[in-house]
Structures are given as C-alpha cells and as structure tokens.
Amino acid sequence: MARPTSWRSRTRRHRINRVNLLILATTLACGGPEHATPAARTVAESNPAAPASGASTPAADSGGPADSLVLRAPHGVEVWATFARSARDSAGAACVERALEIRDGARRTPVPLLYTRDTPRLLNDSTFTVQLSNACRPGAGYAVNLRTGQPVPTGR
C-alpha cells in the first residue's frame, strides 16, 4: 500500500510550482523568452502548461482569435475586440461573440459585461455605440464612454 505524502512535502511542492510560475510571469512581462536569463528560459521550456508566446489575453492563450482593432477614435484612443466566447443560437448555429477593450497609450480599460458580434460605431469624441449579443442574437444597444468604459443602455 502506498504511503500518503506528508502535508509538508505537498506544501513544498506547491511552493516550488508558484516560484516557477512567478519566474515565468516575470520573464514574459519583461519581453518574453528571447530576453530571459538562461535559468528563466529553462523554467519556461520545462513548463508545458504555460503559454509559449507572450500572449496577453485569454483568447490568444486558448487558441481563440487574436485581439483586433475595431474602432479608432480621436486623440489616439482605440477600441479592440479582445476576449472571445463561442455561442449557439436556438437553431444550433454557432457564432463567436467578442468582448471590447479601450486602449489609450498604455492604459487599457475593459468594457464590463458586454459581448458583441457587431462593429462599434463612433457617436462623438467621447462615446461609441455597440449592440449587445447573447446566444448569437442581437440585444440592446449601448453607448460606451471612451474614458471610463462604462456602458449605458441607449433605449433602442
């Protein structure tokens, strides 16, 4: 009969895995494996569960579509389609719904709880409009503030 492992050895094993994960995350944040120290490269190569590229979004990590620029607003503000989810309508037809993120230089503001299949349209210098999508069906329209990312129903 196999002897159960002690609490200390299990804790030590998890601590080592956390250290490896921390080294990997630091390496990817600092420019990826090509700029890493030899020790960090070894950790990144020995951990098959970690993403091989410097991808920063779950969609990219899971093999989903890459981030896509969908709207350019004045003053260098951009709206990107980021996270992706697969959905099916009532007839079983598949579609992909995307989350949105507002990027202004280094600042990234996700638009909360809003997935869409449509292209956003610029309303004015500070707002864009987009239609919510749920289960591949169009939903309510929303106006989204380009500075805060806050969606507000438009009443369409």
Q: Are 70 and 84 in contact (CB under 8 A)?
A: no
pTM, two decimal places: 0.59
- Sign of the alpha-carbon torsion through 18, 23, 26, 28: negative
Straight-line distance from the first to the last Cα atom of the chain, in angstroms, rounded to the nearest whole number: 68
Which amino acid would we find at residue 24? Answer: L
Which residues partner with 152 through β-bridges? 143
Q: What is the chain's pLDDT, residue by residue, as a tens digit (156 residues)?
A: 566 555 555 555 555 555 555 555 555 455 544 444 443 343 334 334 333 333 344 444 456 789 999 999 989 999 999 999 999 999 999 999 999 999 999 999 999 989 999 999 999 999 999 999 999 999 999 999 999 999 999 975
DSSP one-letter string for 40-62: HHHHHHH-TTS-SS---SHHHHT
Q: Are 146 and 127 in contact (CB under 8 A)?
A: yes
CA distance 27 to 42: 11
**Joined tokens for residue 121:** 């349209």
Helices (H), the chain: 7-29, 38-46, 58-61
Q: Is 152 helix (H, G, I), strand (E, B) or coil?
A: strand
Report angle CA 72, 115, 126 to the nearest 5 degrees: 35
CA distance 156 to 129: 11
